[in-house]
A and B are shown apart, each in its own frame.
Chain A
């Protein structure tokens, strides 16, 4: 059966698709891009279909139109409409819709590049901005307690592993710290509640280390493209770093709820529950109409 579906897919993508598109264009008077915009609402389904349609095109200019920069989108939209012989004056809605789709596609790629840039920045103690951000995290999470010194066992109170949080940022770099600070700054009450949950005597966990694990989870979901539908549904344009941070906040809150609901026997089982949580979020993201956000404000 697998062999048959492979053959079918090959035939479809090379011959049948172009025949069907040609027939449909003759019948409806509109090309595939126009039909997609007409048959879907603005969101992930539309953007992903437009992205697929352009990438599968045999025209080089169309194929590469998904790969350009955010600044270049207006030019590319014009080029596409010229190639497809769609009048710009007569189809202003289509032009706008196509523009939004391309902004989302190029914007997602740019956002991933920004996220990767932050991840590759190791925490540097000689960089004042890095040090200030770390101290800001302490102040947000422990407003009534002063740090005795920069190197102190107190860091363990917010879930770092040793006297100096520097080494805990390995792998996710400054991205991990920015995520933690964003959560503490924009959802302060929830972040502090999560911290106090994490200090549970029996099934507590290390707040900051779990935070870094969830940064890794968000990062890998973005890298694999799984987060595309989430961003395409959430932002009708270019997604920003704050949107990535907000997805992280969703993960922090939801993981805390998940962990205590599952009642693990101890922190040693973390990886097992982390994977289960990961699978749960992946399943939610497979629905092309979903975007995952925290629904309350602090």
Chain B
């Protein structure tokens, strides 16, 4: 009789403990992978606004970026540590000093800018694509300001920037977007993160 009671008490204890574990102790969520990414583009292209909006912060007070700033931008299955570099003429010469350690590049351009500015943006993009520290990395090219009437279309941008001939052999994504349409931005980043994940897995030995 005593043994029966002890046994049932033990079974009860195990049952309660298991229920407790099932409902309360789910264990810590698996941490999201972090990637270091550099974000460049001419001044006024919208780098600060897009990154700030991705962090669900207000873009009302955004002033021109001088120097560089670092932002951890969260996505569903990754966190991008973005090093954003200012795009003014006098700052672009410092860009290459900040390429070290990057796993990917985000290039933002103003689709509605003047011909001169678009040409400058093209030269900068080509320099970045050919830079020894960046040429093997995936590029996310955001054709921003699509909401403006003067914005050039996806096809026009692709042609003007000569992406197909010049960036052959490199991985790049061209995404039209604007701060009014963050879904398009997230779509672009989602594809970009997939590229980063693929490269990451290639570097891990033993993975299929």
Hey, which bits of chain A sit against chain B, CB under 8 A? 156, 161-162, 167-168, 170-172, 176, 205-206, 209-210, 212-213, 215-216, 219-220, 266-272
Q: Which single residue of chain B is at the shortest CB-CB distance from A219?
A: B61
With A161-B89, A162-B89 as contacts: A171 and B63 at CB distance below 8 Å:
yes
Complex interface: chain A residues within 8 A of B44 (CB): 161-162, 167, 170
Q: Which single residue of chain A is at the shortest CB-CB distance from B98?
A: A268
Hey, which bits of chain B sit against chain A, CB under 8 A? 43-44, 60-69, 88-91, 94, 97-98
Question: By the criterion CB–CB under 8 Å, are A206 and B63 in contact?
Answer: no
Question: By the criterion CB–CB under 8 Å, are B64 and A212 in contact?
Answer: yes
A281 to chain B, nearest CB (A): 17
Contact check: which of B62, B63, B89, B91 meets A268 at CB < 8 Å?
A: B91
A9 to chain B, nearest CB (A): 30
A269 to B70, CA, bound (A): 12
A215 to B64, CA, bound (A): 12
Between A and B, 23 residue pairs with Cβ closer than 8 Å are A161-B43, A161-B44, A161-B88, A161-B89, A168-B64, A170-B64, A171-B61, A171-B63, A172-B61, A172-B63, A205-B66, A206-B66, A209-B64, A210-B66, A213-B66, A215-B63, A216-B63, A266-B94, A268-B97, A269-B67, A270-B66, A271-B66, A271-B67
Question: By the criterion CB–CB under 8 Å, are A270 and B63 in contact?
Answer: no
A267 to B68, CA, bound (A): 9
Question: By the criterion CB–CB under 8 Å, are A270 and B90 in contact?
Answer: no
B40 to chain A, nearest CB (A): 13
Complex interface: chain B residues within 8 A of A220 (CB): 61
Complex interface: chain B residues within 8 A of A168 (CB): 64
Q: Which single residue of chain B is at the shortest CB-CB distance from A275?
A: B69
Complex interface: chain B residues within 8 A of A156 (CB): 89-90
Interface of A is mostly: helix
Q: Which single residue of chain B is at the shortest CB-CB distance from A153?
A: B89
Complex interface: chain B residues within 8 A of A212 (CB): 63-64
Q: Which single residue of chain A is at the shortest CB-CB distance from B69?
A: A271
Complex interface: chain A residues within 8 A of B98 (CB): 268
Question: By the criterion CB–CB under 8 Å, are A267 and B63 in contact?
Answer: no
A158 to B138, CA, bound (A): 38
Question: By the criterion CB–CB under 8 Å, are B64 and A268 in contact?
Answer: no
A243 to B91, CA, bound (A): 34
B110 to chain A, nearest CB (A): 10
With A156-B89, A156-B90, A170-B63 as contacts: A268 and B68 at CB distance below 8 Å:
yes
- For the complex with contacts A170-B63, A212-B63, 13 further pairs of A-B residues with Cβ separation under 8 Å are A156-B90, A161-B43, A161-B88, A167-B44, A172-B61, A176-B63, A209-B63, A209-B64, A219-B61, A266-B94, A268-B94, A270-B67, A271-B66
Complex interface: chain B residues within 8 A of A206 (CB): 66, 88, 90
Complex interface: chain B residues within 8 A of A170 (CB): 44, 62-64
Q: Which single residue of chain A is at the shortest CB-CB distance from B95?
A: A268
Q: Which 4 A-B pairs rank lowest in CB-CB distance, beginning with the nearest? A: A270-B67, A171-B63, A161-B88, A268-B67
Q: Which single residue of chain B is at the shortest CB-CB distance from A216?
A: B63
A268 to B95, CA, bound (A): 9
Contact check: which of A162, A176, A216, A268 meets B43 at CB < 8 Å?
A: A162
Contact check: which of A162, A213, A266, A272 meets B63 at CB < 8 Å?
A: A213
A172 to B89, CA, bound (A): 21
A286 to B66, CA, bound (A): 28
B101 to chain A, nearest CB (A): 16
Q: Which single residue of chain B is at the shortest CB-CB distance from A212?
A: B63
Question: By the criterion CB–CB under 8 Å, are B61 and A161 in contact?
Answer: no
Complex interface: chain A residues within 8 A of B62 (CB): 170-171
Complex interface: chain B residues within 8 A of A209 (CB): 63-64, 66, 88
B187 to chain A, nearest CB (A): 26
Complex interface: chain B residues within 8 A of A270 (CB): 66-67
Complex interface: chain B residues within 8 A of A268 (CB): 67-68, 91, 94, 97-98
Of residues B43, B44, B88, B89, which shows the largest number of chain A Cβ atoms within 10 Å of its Cβ? B88
A171 to B88, CA, bound (A): 16
B189 to chain A, nearest CB (A): 23
With A267-B90, A268-B91 as contacts: A216 and B67 at CB distance below 8 Å:
no
Complex interface: chain B residues within 8 A of A167 (CB): 43-44
B146 to chain A, nearest CB (A): 18
Complex interface: chain A residues within 8 A of B43 (CB): 161-162, 167
A161 to B91, CA, bound (A): 10
Complex interface: chain A residues within 8 A of B94 (CB): 266-268
A209 to B69, CA, bound (A): 16
With A206-B90, A209-B88 as contacts: A161 and B64 at CB distance below 8 Å:
yes
